[in-house]
Amino acid sequence: MSAIELTKLTLRRSGRTVLSGVDAVIDEGEFIGVFGPNGAGKTTLLQALLGLLRPESGAISIFGQPPLHGNPLAGYMPQRRAAMAELRLTGWDVVASALDGHRWGLPILGAEGRRQVAWALETVEAVEFARRPIQHLSGGEMQRLLLAQALLGKPRLLLLDEPLISLDPRYQQAVVDLVKRVQQALHITVLFTAHELNPLLGAMDRVLYLGGGRAKLGTVEDVVNSAALSQLYGAPIEVLRVGGRIIVVAAHGEVEAHAHRHDA
Protein backbone atom coordinates (compact mmCIF):
# COMPACT_ATOMS: atom_id res chain seq x y z
CA MET A 1 0.00 0.00 0.00
CA SER A 2 1.21 3.52 -0.73
CA ALA A 3 1.71 5.82 2.24
CA ILE A 4 1.64 9.04 0.19
CA GLU A 5 0.37 9.80 -3.29
CA LEU A 6 0.79 13.23 -4.89
CA THR A 7 -1.19 13.75 -8.08
CA LYS A 8 -0.57 16.89 -10.17
CA LEU A 9 -0.04 18.70 -6.89
CA THR A 10 0.34 22.48 -6.94
CA LEU A 11 1.00 24.39 -3.71
CA ARG A 12 1.00 28.17 -3.28
CA ARG A 13 2.12 30.26 -0.35
CA SER A 14 2.08 34.04 0.07
CA GLY A 15 0.97 34.46 -3.52
CA ARG A 16 3.85 32.38 -4.87
CA THR A 17 3.65 28.96 -6.53
CA VAL A 18 6.02 26.78 -4.51
CA LEU A 19 5.40 23.43 -6.20
CA SER A 20 3.63 22.84 -9.50
CA GLY A 21 2.19 19.66 -11.02
CA VAL A 22 4.08 17.26 -8.75
CA ASP A 23 3.43 13.51 -9.12
CA ALA A 24 4.97 11.07 -6.64
CA VAL A 25 4.13 7.80 -4.91
CA ILE A 26 5.86 6.85 -1.65
CA ASP A 27 5.40 3.29 -0.47
CA GLU A 28 4.53 2.32 3.07
CA GLY A 29 7.67 1.75 5.12
CA GLU A 30 10.02 3.83 2.96
CA PHE A 31 12.61 6.25 4.33
CA ILE A 32 12.64 9.29 2.03
CA GLY A 33 15.18 12.10 2.24
CA VAL A 34 13.71 15.42 1.05
CA PHE A 35 16.23 17.93 -0.31
CA GLY A 36 16.36 21.21 -2.17
CA PRO A 37 17.57 24.80 -1.73
CA ASN A 38 15.97 27.21 0.71
CA GLY A 39 12.50 28.13 -0.51
CA ALA A 40 12.13 25.01 -2.66
CA GLY A 41 9.07 23.88 -0.71
CA LYS A 42 10.27 21.26 1.77
CA THR A 43 8.40 22.65 4.78
CA THR A 44 5.43 23.66 2.62
CA LEU A 45 5.08 20.08 1.39
CA LEU A 46 5.14 18.65 4.91
CA GLN A 47 2.50 21.13 6.03
CA ALA A 48 0.30 20.15 3.10
CA LEU A 49 0.68 16.49 4.06
CA LEU A 50 -0.49 17.42 7.55
CA GLY A 51 -3.58 19.17 6.22
CA LEU A 52 -2.31 22.59 7.31
CA LEU A 53 -2.18 23.95 3.74
CA ARG A 54 -4.76 23.21 1.06
CA PRO A 55 -3.49 22.46 -2.45
CA GLU A 56 -4.08 25.06 -5.12
CA SER A 57 -4.83 22.13 -7.40
CA GLY A 58 -4.21 18.40 -7.62
CA ALA A 59 -4.55 15.91 -4.81
CA ILE A 60 -2.78 14.40 -1.81
CA SER A 61 -3.55 10.96 -0.40
CA ILE A 62 -2.29 9.73 2.98
CA PHE A 63 -2.87 5.99 3.32
CA GLY A 64 -5.74 6.34 0.86
CA GLN A 65 -7.35 9.36 2.55
CA PRO A 66 -7.09 13.15 2.06
CA PRO A 67 -4.81 14.99 4.51
CA LEU A 68 -6.51 15.77 7.80
CA HIS A 69 -5.35 18.31 10.36
CA GLY A 70 -4.63 16.36 13.52
CA ASN A 71 -4.41 13.05 11.66
CA PRO A 72 -3.25 10.48 14.25
CA LEU A 73 -1.53 8.51 11.48
CA ALA A 74 1.06 11.29 11.05
CA GLY A 75 3.66 12.41 13.57
CA TYR A 76 5.39 15.76 12.97
CA MET A 77 8.62 17.30 14.20
CA PRO A 78 8.58 20.97 13.10
CA GLN A 79 11.61 22.98 12.11
CA ARG A 80 10.74 25.86 14.42
CA ARG A 81 10.31 24.64 17.95
CA ALA A 82 9.03 26.27 21.08
CA ALA A 83 11.74 27.96 23.16
CA MET A 84 12.32 25.72 26.14
CA ALA A 85 15.62 26.88 27.64
CA GLU A 86 13.94 28.99 30.34
CA LEU A 87 11.29 26.43 31.23
CA ARG A 88 11.87 24.37 34.35
CA LEU A 89 11.09 21.04 32.77
CA THR A 90 12.66 17.61 32.73
CA GLY A 91 12.92 15.52 29.59
CA TRP A 92 9.87 13.55 30.75
CA ASP A 93 7.92 16.81 31.10
CA VAL A 94 8.82 17.85 27.55
CA VAL A 95 7.34 14.68 26.11
CA ALA A 96 4.39 14.48 28.49
CA SER A 97 3.39 18.11 27.88
CA ALA A 98 2.88 17.32 24.19
CA LEU A 99 0.64 14.32 24.79
CA ASP A 100 -2.49 16.25 23.82
CA GLY A 101 -0.65 17.72 20.82
CA HIS A 102 -1.50 21.33 21.56
CA ARG A 103 0.07 22.97 24.56
CA TRP A 104 3.01 23.16 26.91
CA GLY A 105 2.56 22.63 30.61
CA LEU A 106 2.75 19.98 33.28
CA PRO A 107 -0.20 17.70 32.61
CA ILE A 108 -1.65 15.25 35.09
CA LEU A 109 -1.43 11.97 33.24
CA GLY A 110 -3.42 8.85 33.85
CA ALA A 111 -1.91 5.39 33.67
CA GLU A 112 -2.36 5.17 29.88
CA GLY A 113 -0.75 8.57 29.33
CA ARG A 114 2.25 7.57 31.46
CA ARG A 115 2.57 4.34 29.47
CA GLN A 116 2.58 6.29 26.20
CA VAL A 117 5.27 8.69 27.40
CA ALA A 118 7.38 5.83 28.77
CA TRP A 119 7.04 3.94 25.47
CA ALA A 120 8.07 6.99 23.41
CA LEU A 121 11.09 7.68 25.61
CA GLU A 122 12.20 4.06 25.46
CA THR A 123 11.73 3.99 21.67
CA VAL A 124 14.07 6.96 21.16
CA GLU A 125 16.55 5.62 23.74
CA ALA A 126 16.04 8.59 26.08
CA VAL A 127 15.07 6.87 29.34
CA GLU A 128 18.54 7.38 30.83
CA PHE A 129 18.32 11.18 30.78
CA ALA A 130 14.54 11.71 30.79
CA ARG A 131 14.45 12.89 34.42
CA ARG A 132 17.22 15.45 34.01
CA PRO A 133 16.43 19.18 33.62
CA ILE A 134 16.42 20.15 29.96
CA GLN A 135 19.00 22.89 30.64
CA HIS A 136 21.49 20.08 31.23
CA LEU A 137 20.79 18.21 27.99
CA SER A 138 22.82 18.31 24.79
CA GLY A 139 21.36 19.27 21.41
CA GLY A 140 21.30 15.63 20.38
CA GLU A 141 19.46 14.63 23.56
CA MET A 142 16.87 17.36 23.01
CA GLN A 143 16.29 16.09 19.47
CA ARG A 144 15.54 12.66 20.91
CA LEU A 145 12.88 14.19 23.14
CA LEU A 146 11.31 16.05 20.21
CA LEU A 147 11.32 12.83 18.21
CA ALA A 148 9.58 11.13 21.14
CA GLN A 149 6.91 13.82 20.99
CA ALA A 150 6.33 13.06 17.30
CA LEU A 151 5.94 9.35 18.08
CA LEU A 152 3.17 9.82 20.64
CA GLY A 153 0.10 8.00 19.41
CA LYS A 154 2.24 5.58 17.39
CA PRO A 155 1.83 7.17 13.93
CA ARG A 156 2.40 5.27 10.69
CA LEU A 157 3.97 8.30 9.00
CA LEU A 158 6.76 10.42 10.50
CA LEU A 159 7.42 13.88 9.06
CA LEU A 160 10.70 15.40 10.25
CA ASP A 161 11.47 18.98 9.23
CA GLU A 162 15.21 19.73 9.37
CA PRO A 163 15.99 17.80 12.57
CA LEU A 164 19.73 18.16 11.92
CA ILE A 165 19.80 21.97 12.13
CA SER A 166 22.35 23.30 14.66
CA LEU A 167 23.79 19.85 15.41
CA ASP A 168 27.44 19.04 14.91
CA PRO A 169 28.27 16.15 12.53
CA ARG A 170 28.55 13.59 15.33
CA TYR A 171 25.08 14.37 16.67
CA GLN A 172 23.67 14.61 13.14
CA GLN A 173 24.71 11.07 12.37
CA ALA A 174 23.42 9.84 15.73
CA VAL A 175 19.98 11.36 15.04
CA VAL A 176 19.81 9.83 11.55
CA ASP A 177 20.85 6.42 12.86
CA LEU A 178 18.23 6.62 15.61
CA VAL A 179 15.45 7.57 13.17
CA LYS A 180 16.45 4.63 10.98
CA ARG A 181 16.29 2.23 13.93
CA VAL A 182 12.88 3.60 14.91
CA GLN A 183 11.62 3.34 11.32
CA GLN A 184 12.69 -0.28 11.03
CA ALA A 185 11.42 -1.28 14.49
CA LEU A 186 7.99 0.30 14.00
CA HIS A 187 7.74 -0.33 10.23
CA ILE A 188 6.73 3.28 9.59
CA THR A 189 7.19 5.67 6.67
CA VAL A 190 9.63 8.57 7.16
CA LEU A 191 10.01 11.85 5.28
CA PHE A 192 13.17 13.55 6.53
CA THR A 193 13.98 17.02 5.19
CA ALA A 194 17.58 18.17 5.30
CA HIS A 195 20.18 20.32 3.61
CA GLU A 196 22.98 17.77 3.88
CA LEU A 197 22.65 14.50 2.00
CA ASN A 198 25.72 12.91 3.55
CA PRO A 199 24.34 11.91 6.99
CA LEU A 200 21.33 10.27 5.32
CA LEU A 201 23.13 8.19 2.69
CA GLY A 202 23.05 4.95 4.65
CA ALA A 203 19.47 5.42 5.84
CA MET A 204 17.43 6.54 2.81
CA ASP A 205 15.58 4.29 0.43
CA ARG A 206 15.01 7.13 -2.04
CA VAL A 207 15.45 10.88 -2.50
CA LEU A 208 12.74 13.47 -3.16
CA TYR A 209 14.53 16.49 -4.65
CA LEU A 210 12.66 19.81 -4.93
CA GLY A 211 13.71 22.70 -7.14
CA GLY A 212 12.30 25.21 -9.58
CA GLY A 213 8.76 24.41 -8.48
CA ARG A 214 9.14 20.79 -9.47
CA ALA A 215 10.14 17.52 -7.83
CA LYS A 216 11.99 14.34 -8.73
CA LEU A 217 11.77 11.10 -6.74
CA GLY A 218 14.26 8.25 -7.10
CA THR A 219 17.54 6.81 -5.87
CA VAL A 220 20.51 9.07 -5.19
CA GLU A 221 22.09 7.85 -8.45
CA ASP A 222 18.91 8.55 -10.40
CA VAL A 223 18.26 12.01 -8.96
CA VAL A 224 21.52 13.66 -7.92
CA ASN A 225 23.16 13.85 -11.32
CA SER A 226 23.68 16.56 -13.91
CA ALA A 227 20.96 15.46 -16.34
CA ALA A 228 18.25 14.99 -13.72
CA LEU A 229 18.89 18.26 -11.87
CA SER A 230 19.23 20.25 -15.11
CA GLN A 231 15.80 18.99 -16.10
CA LEU A 232 14.42 19.75 -12.65
CA TYR A 233 15.71 23.33 -12.58
CA GLY A 234 15.19 24.00 -16.29
CA ALA A 235 18.76 25.28 -16.48
CA PRO A 236 22.22 23.77 -16.95
CA ILE A 237 23.35 22.11 -13.70
CA GLU A 238 26.54 20.14 -13.24
CA VAL A 239 27.05 17.63 -10.44
CA LEU A 240 30.71 17.22 -9.54
CA ARG A 241 32.31 14.58 -7.37
CA VAL A 242 35.48 16.04 -5.92
CA GLY A 243 37.45 14.41 -3.14
CA GLY A 244 34.53 12.22 -2.17
CA ARG A 245 32.09 15.13 -2.16
CA ILE A 246 29.20 16.09 -4.42
CA ILE A 247 28.95 19.73 -5.50
CA VAL A 248 26.05 21.04 -7.57
CA VAL A 249 27.08 23.84 -9.92
CA ALA A 250 24.99 26.10 -12.18
CA ALA A 251 26.24 28.24 -15.07
CA HIS A 252 26.66 31.22 -12.71
CA GLY A 253 28.36 29.24 -9.94
CA GLU A 254 27.42 26.93 -7.11
CA VAL A 255 23.71 26.42 -6.54
CA GLU A 256 22.97 27.09 -2.87
CA ALA A 257 26.45 25.91 -1.98
CA HIS A 258 25.71 24.95 1.59
CA ALA A 259 22.36 23.44 0.71
CA HIS A 260 23.75 21.28 -2.08
CA ARG A 261 27.22 20.20 -1.02
CA HIS A 262 27.16 16.57 0.06
CA ASP A 263 29.56 13.75 0.79
CA ALA A 264 29.27 10.65 -1.41
Give the separation between CA 11 and CA 45, rounded to whole angstroms: 8
- Note the pLDDT of residue 258: 44
pLDDT score at 256: 47
Secondary structure string (H, E, C) spanning the chain: CEEEEEEEEEEEECCEEEEEEEEEEEECCCEEEEECCCCCCHHHHHHHHCCCCCCCEEEEEECCECCCCCCCCEEEECCCCCCCCCCCCEHHHHHHCCCCCCCCCCCCCCHHHHHHHHHHHHHCCCHHHCCCEHHHCCHHHHHHHHHHHHHCCCCCEEEEECCCCCCCHHHHHHHHHHHHHHHHHHCCEEEEECCCCHHHCCCCCEEEEEECCEEEEECHHHHCCHHHHHHHHCCCEEEEEECCEEEEEECCEECCHHHHCEEC
Residuewise pLDDT in 10s, the chain (264 residues): 899 999 999 999 999 999 999 999 999 999 999 998 888 999 999 999 999 999 999 999 999 999 998 889 999 998 866 566 566 789 999 999 888 654 455 667 888 999 999 999 999 999 999 999 999 999 899 999 999 999 999 999 999 999 998 888 888 999 999 999 999 999 999 999 998 787 888 899 999 999 889 999 999 889 988 898 888 888 888 888 777 666 777 765 555 444 444 443
Instruction: Specify the pTM.
Output: 0.88
Contact 100, 87 (CB under 8 A): no
All domains of the chain in start order, with CATH: 1-73+155-233 (3.40.50.300), 84-153 (no CATH)
The Cα 54–Cα 48 span in angstroms is 6
Cβ–Cβ under 8 Å, residues 153 and 163: no
Characterize the bridge pairing of strands 31-35 and 189-193.
Answer: parallel
The whole-angstrom distance between residue 119's C-alpha and the CA centroid of its chain comes to: 21
